[in-house]
Amino acid sequence: MNDGAGRYAPSPTGDLHLGNLRTAMLAWLYARSTDRRLWLRFEDLDTGRADPAAAGRQLADLLALGLDVDGDPVVQSDRIERYRTAIDDLTAAGRTYRCWCTRREIHAAVSAPHAPPGAYPGTCRRLTAEQIVEREASGRPPAIRLRADIATETVTDLRFGSYTGVVDDFVLQRGDGTPAYNLAVVVDDIAMGVDQVVRGDDLLDSAPRQAHLTALLGGVVPEYAHVPLVLGRDGARLAKRDGAVTLRQRLALGETSAQVRSALAASLHLAAPGEVVDMADLLDRFDPALLPTEPWTLTPEPCG
Ligand code: GLU
């Protein structure tokens, strides 16, 4: 075992679907094939409707597929103090500012032709002392943003190669006081010794922001592997409306966990359709260079 670690970081809002499970399988394969630990982290800050039983069910489903994890799962809502400390440290170093912009104001400003696509235009960074007093008097609690001193950052991704994306003055703490996703992920990845991040490629454009924040907080930027999503019949990202998409739903149809594992493995070109395989077999066969690069479209056929 080397000192590094990967992680799988679901939101515990319901049962994992086959797309989540396939990403988890990849996180497991990337970590285990490089002799890393694999942590499980429940990201429940944003959900607002965290289901306490969901985390246990998610862990049970991972284990049923043979995706074991190390140590006890980490739950973000238990770690609020760590996030606050990181924000306080950045503030003490002059790296943050308060922002009172509403979504609508930001939307109007970013539609302006000079703003880089997807970037916060820095409205509240340029407030005068008088304007700050006015906003404080409004009673609306401000968000806290990073005072970024770069506009883009380049990360290395095992699938996408060199990827350059926007780093704007992104939110570290929301107006309601909740630490923001980018901040919590980075604080946790540093604290947990994560040096390999495997997750869905819908999060690729977060990587430059997170890499920049990692460096600011004194961490080592991890290697990234943003992996293809699973799509439903309609070509959109797999969702509950696509029918029997969770492990439990597949079991209720009479399939076994082994059959579901086999179907996921086949979708990764690691097994023949219907072939019985365990995770040790898949580990032997795993070669990141041979993974399919296209999304997997889940067809209505059963896994068995
Ligand atoms: N919690 C995020 C999700 O469920 C994943 C975040 C990450 O892996 O960085 O999509």
What pLDDT digit, counting tens, does each position of 246-259 carry?
999 999 999 999 99
For ligand 1, mutation pick of 8, 11, 28 (most atoms within 8 Å of CB): 11
Residue 215 has pLDDT above 90, yes or no: yes
For ligand 1, mutation pick of 43, 74, 192 (most atoms within 8 Å of CB): 43
CA 296-302-304 angle, 5° bins: 105
Ligand 1, atom nearest to 199 Cα:
8
For ligand 1, mutation pick of 62, 199, 230 (most atoms within 8 Å of CB): 199
What are the tens digits of pLDDT across the range 119-153?
Answer: 899 999 999 999 999 999 999 999 999 999 999 99
Q: Quick one: pLDDT at residue 303? A: 67
Q: Quick one: pLDDT at residue 179? A: 97
Looking at CATH, the fold of the domain delimited by 80-192+194-226 is given as: Rossmann fold (3.40.50)
In whole angstroms, give the CA distance from residue 38 to residue 73: 10
- In 3D, which of 207, 216, 234 has the Cα closest to residue 297? 234
In short, whether 199's Cβ falls inside 6 Å of ligand 1 is yes
Query: What is the arithmetic mean of pLDDT over 208-233?
Result: 96
Q: How far is the CA of 130 from the centre of ligand 1 (A)?
A: 39
* pTM metric for this prediction: 0.94
List every span in the chain annotated with CATH 3.40.50.620: 5-78+228-297, 80-192+194-226
Q: Quick one: pLDDT at residue 299? A: 76
* Contacts with 108 (C-beta within 8 Å, 6 or more apart), sequence order: none
Query: For the domain bounded by 5-78+228-297, which CATH number is listed?
Result: 3.40.50.620
Please give the residue that has the higher pLDDT: either 112 or 49.
112
- In 3D, which of 275, 295, 271, 268 has the Cα closest to residue 30? 268
Query: What is the arithmetic mean of pLDDT over 87-116?
Result: 86
- In 3D, which of 71, 52, 61, 49 has the Cα closest to residue 23? 61
Q: Sorting pLDDT into bands at 50, 70 and 90, what band is 113?
A: low
